[in-house]
Amino acid sequence: MSSPPGRRARVSSPGTSRQGSDAREEVRRRLKDLIDANRVMIFSKSYCPHSTRVKELFSSLGVDYNILELDQVEDGANVQEVLKEISNQKTVPNIFVNKVHVGGCDRTFQAHHNGLLQKLLQEDLAHDFDLIIIGGGSGGLSCAKEAANLGKKVMVLDFVVPSPQGSSWGLGGTCVNVGCIPKKLMHQAALLGQALQDSRRFGWEYNQQVKHNWEVMTEAIQNHISSLNWGYRLTLREKGVTYVNAYGEFVELHKIKVQQMEKGSPGVLKVVAKSTEGPETVEGTYNTVLLAIGRDSCTRKIGLEKIGVKINEKNGKIPVNDVEQTNVPHVYAIGDILEGKPELTPVAIQAGKLLARRLFGASLEKCDYVNIPTTVFTPLEYGCCGLSEEKAIEVYKKENLEVYHTLFWPLEWTVAGRDNNTCYAKIICNKFDNERVVGFHLLGPNAGEITQGFAAAMKCGLTKQLLNDTIGIHPTCGEVFTTLEITKSSGLEITQKGC
């Protein structure tokens, strides 16, 4: 069957005068020009039956399209590699509609059946922005700044409904306003209190009664948060990003409504409590909840259903593929709203930066969601990287693992007379991969600082032998990982007996 007629595009090699990266950049520019200039752009191969099906589809819809047959252009293999860098897809057909990457044959027919293709075909080529980001958290800001660095016109919409008490957030999302930043600063306040108690055992004498002023602490922390809010706004302005403190809502494909929400009276919340010891449940409606466990994904009121973006109805999380793309080709999601991914600020920042680079052809690199280090800033910090012991057993099977662990006593705790069997260190090793460390766990002072360094080592393929060969810094808590000897399988005692 012969292919239906379509306008033939040309991308010639830049010639022998341009080589290497310059040549690839020239091909990239010409491919981007084709995508930007044509309502429908099909990258095809003349003998490919899937390409033929797609051409027949657009012909049956009466839609003009341009074709670039990669098997009929000079140096087509290299052209196809550059196209992969732009679209993250190497196979043909590779279809763009109004500059939106639709995908291959199957995804194009899927878009046709669910009505998305028709909506894309109706879109005007002119848009106000290359990228609109809903949510000014760490991931959104990272993506916005990177896209701006790549010369794109970007808008950030960010608005958080004030609390019943009238509290509102500045730019920066959960991390800056109610998460990482205030959490760590308040954690430090608690550590200082403990240090005051310990100081007497180290010879510090003071007669004045020591007490804590909550208002002074909260004011100082809030002032620091406000300075960060302002700094983010200033950075966006310097990079030419349009920032609007308003609520963003999808109204149709490629169109978002912006609206300065009224504070008004607090809404009423329905609270359901279930007993852990029986079937009894209690429920009631209130305008204020003093304590709640966990966070909700605010995805149900931004119009995602109007453009067909699927969410997990149970928790509001958004399923995505390995490049953070939702089921609607031009809508992406990063950060805490992703289903099955860690809710961590540095993860969102990395994902946002890499997404912008992929969207605008600067890189193919994907966010690595494996071996992500994190810390819980409780009075005694807990840090980890890689797999938990339970997850490691699920992945590798128990007989294939060796677990090294010990309790330990930080030197600074000895004079202070604090418990000598509170801190704990553990590594989980894959016995049949040179005892590579697949899980790292630490309960002790400064666990976050210690875990960060070991996370880099795990990225490089850290093994038990490498830990054994590493000379520890004495006396520190981190050195315990260079002297681990007792395995769980041995059943030997790990409690510390004193000096």
Angle at 289 between CA 287 and CA 293, to 5 degrees: 145
- Please give the DSSP secondary-structure letter assigned to residue 3: P
Q: How far is CA 389 from CA 184, 279, 437, in A?
A: 27, 32, 12
Backbone angles phi, psi at 72, to 5 degrees: -120, 10
Return d(Cα 384, Cα 437) in angstroms, integer: 12
Q: Residue 93: is the preceding peptide bond cis (ω within 30°)?
A: yes
Tokens of 10: 């040309």
Helices (H), 283-379: 304-307, 345-359
Return d(Cα 276, Cα 494) in angstroms, integer: 34
Return d(Cα 39, Cα 51) in angstroms, integer: 17
Point out which residues pair with 376 in neighbouring strands.
382
CA atoms within 13 A on the CB side of 453: 10
Tell me if residue 286 falls in helix, strand or coil: strand
Neighbours of 56 (CB within 10 A): 13
Return d(Cα 440, Cα 432) in angstroms, integer: 18
**DSSP secondary structure, 227-279, as one string:** HHHHHHHHHHHHTT-EEE-S-EEEEETTEEEE------SPPPEEEEEE-SSSS
Active-site residue set: 474
Residue 466's Cβ-count burial label (10 Å; 0-12, 13-18, 19+) is middle
Tokens of 132: 């609109």
Tokens of 323: 């490049």
Q: How far is CA 391 from CA 257, 372, 388, 394, 399, in A?
A: 43, 14, 5, 5, 14
Tokens of 170: 């500045």
Tokens of 329: 């080709």
Tell me if residue 299 falls in helix, strand or coil: coil
* Separation of first and last alpha carbons in the chain: 85
Return d(Cα 240, Cα 223) in angstroms, integer: 26
Q: How far is CA 8 from CA 33, 75, 94, 389, 400, in A?
A: 14, 17, 15, 58, 57
Compute the residue count for the chain: 499
Tell me if residue 108 falls in helix, strand or coil: helix
